[in-house]
Amino acid sequence: MPPQLQNGLDIAAKVVQGTLDSLPQAVREFIENNAELCQPDRIHICDGSEEENGQLLGHMEEQGILRRLKKYDNCWLALTDPRDVARIESKTVIITQEQRDTVPIPKTGLSQLGRWMSEEDFEKAFNARFPGCMKGRTMYVIPFSMGPLGSPLSKIGIELTDSPYVVASMRIMTRMGTPVLEALGNGEFVKCLHSVGCPLPLKSKCIISELKVKIKKKAEQQPPAGASGTPKQGPGALTWEGSLFTEPLVNNWPCNPELTLIAHLPDRREIISFGSGYGGNSLLGKKCFALRMAGRLAKEEGWLAEHMLILGITNPEGKKKYLAAAFPSACGKTNLAMMNPSLPGWKVECVGDDIAWMKFDAQGNLRAINPENGFFGVAPGTSVKTNPNAIKTIQKNTIFTNVAETSDGGVYWEGIDEQLAPGVTITSWRNKEWSPQDGEPCAHPNSRFCTPASQCPIIDAAWESPEGVPIEGIIFGGRRPAGVPLVYEALSWQHGVFVGAAMRSEATAAAEHKGKIIMHDPFAMRPFFGYNFGKYLAHWLSMAQHPAAKLPKIFHVNWFRKDKEGKFLWPGFGENSRVLEWMFNRVDGKAGAKLTPIGYIPKEDALNLKGLGHVNTTELFSISKEFWEKEVEDIEKYLEEQVNADLPCEIEREILALKQRISQM
């Protein structure tokens, strides 16, 4: 532990904006305890104002953390250290007393449904990282609300961070600042602590590490250069914990990849992150709070926290419905949330593109809010063709990370589909001159835009409605090149929960996995479960017992099926509105459907294909006995091995029933 400060006065003297006296007691204690531990030079209590934001952005520009993109209005580019570019599942943990509270105990090997760390191991890891970690830096205090301020579905967090990039991004992604503290009063909040793990002064890269020194004589017990503290006796060595200074900062981006750790302590309502500045690891309101922590809160309080977009769809008669949809990364989730329908007279509006918090109201409607305030979208593949509304949204007040920059002050990435003016050159995300002949992408595959949701031209009028919007359909989907039809509807709520549990998709760049393999991604939540997945399934199944529940219909879609030549069978994008139309009418009890062993598919002519050239619907909807025998075998094996004793018997029954239906094909 660092030397204790005599009293709170020393900490109060470090406050450069705001006052500790004005804060709720619990917030003040949270700040004081962590300021004593992390030893920042300054403490800045964020008010969320335009003025504060402008100062922070200017300060980061001076430090070379951000570049101003002169082609747009108040847009910025950050380039990270190439070792800090994505969520790191291997270093993301949940701490509970018992391992089984976090993950089911698999039959063999490690759980793929989350990572558990013991309380003892966490204490050691925490004490090796956080003491003194903010020396020379400013500790920013970010009060933030997940969900519209004052909504009964919203939750409040306080994040302490030494990264101004986090502050600017959290201002976009959450409701942030003084109004949140006013709404909080003496209420409960989730405690979030984040550090890039690079104390100053720093002429070069800081890596806190263990230094082992061979003992020749007892007298040689002085710490080596850069280390401090009392040594621990080990077999033939003394170990100091301390700081080594090596290699300069890359792109002025402080991080500590060797010691990165993202930890969730649900029993203490705490999230603790060290060593990474990347969005999913450092914007603690995002996946850490909105999914992992909220998932646990939702289980205790009887609601759902899900990795789902929310969209409103209105038919030509003016009737509107809301749908929620779960897709793994790179399956067109943001594109669907912001779709321009190709069907005349139909309208899609966006409530949220990533996360849904859903709770039954007194009338039995499943009400959903988008807990976020912005979009943190994957840039590559976003273009005027694939997502015109996203392109319009990101023209101002946006922070881009790890995209390429054009010499006229614009952004560029793979699939942007824009012609460059003559003489305009490209600098890649690696900060080097780039040309298509280089054989590597100009933007990182997981490069991002962080942009205010309110700027989306098709943002739904009710997107900030405190009571949420009523969900009538839930869609699961994945990227499946073979075997899985364009759309099918689950036979019941229980079957729908099984369909969510059985989701599989080609793996992508948002996590650290490489290459294209079909991975299990139940509910598109595999990296985001906040507690045991078997208990999560039981929680979903229990929704059917909710008094007066109007259970949404559940569908599965696959926009990505290919023919034998490897060409997509379905055009996708705006044409996906044709599938939404069928779902809309199914919810209304109108559209024709055909029963198959895997669920209901559209009857001949039930899917509106007017004006759509030739589409091979036979191949698009074909259900092969051989494929599905293998599919159900893989799903059964995965769930039995991974969920093991915690697999609900209702899911076992659904597996058996599906097997039986396939065997009769």
Q: Which residues does the annotation mark as catalytic?
A: 331
The C-alpha atoms of residue 490 and residue 50 are separated, in whole angstroms, by 48
The C-alpha atoms of residue 72 and residue 78 are separated, in whole angstroms, by 15
Cβ–Cβ under 8 Å, residues 489 and 645:
no
Instruction: Give phi and psi for 457, each to the nearest 5.
Output: -65, -20
For residue 201, say if its preceding peptide bond is cis, omega within 30 degrees of 0.
yes
- Residue 176, C-beta contacts closer than 8 angstroms, at least 6 positions apart: 46, 48, 142, 143, 144, 145, 170, 373
Q: Within 13 Å, how many C-alpha atoms sit on residue 649's CB side? A: 0
User: What's the first-to-final CA gap in the chain, in angstroms?
Assistant: 67
Tokens representing 570 are 């379905």
Tokens representing 4 are 């204790």
How many CB atoms are closer than 10 A to CB 217?
6
The C-alpha atoms of residue 8 and residue 115 are separated, in whole angstroms, by 37
Tokens representing 55 are 């100062």
The C-alpha atoms of residue 381 and residue 412 are separated, in whole angstroms, by 11
Smallest CA-to-CA distance from 272 within 81, 38, 113 is with 38
Which amino acid, residue 650? Answer: E
**What are the Cα distances from residue 103, in Å, to 100, 128, 645?**
5, 26, 11
The C-alpha atoms of residue 638 and residue 628 are separated, in whole angstroms, by 15
Name the 3-class secondary structure at 190: strand
Smallest CA-to-CA distance from 471 within 578, 360, 373 is with 360
The DSSP call for residue 90 is G
DSSP notation for 580-599: HHHHHHHHTT-S-EEEETTE
Cβ–Cβ under 8 Å, residues 113 and 529:
yes
- Residue 303, C-beta contacts closer than 8 angstroms, at least 6 positions apart: 153, 357, 358, 359, 360
Smallest CA-to-CA distance from 243 within 223, 228, 259, 260 is with 228
- Residue 614, C-beta contacts closer than 8 angstroms, at least 6 positions apart: none
**What are the Cα distances from residue 379, in Å, to 97, 335, 352, 457, 576?**
39, 11, 17, 18, 21
How many CB atoms are closer than 10 A to CB 7?
9
The DSSP call for residue 385 is T
Contacts 24+ apart (CB under 8 A), 103-111: 103/529, 103/532, 103/533, 104/532, 104/533, 104/534, 104/642, 104/643, 104/644, 104/645, 104/646, 104/647, 105/644, 105/645, 106/641, 106/642, 106/644, 107/640, 107/641, 107/644, 108/641, 111/642
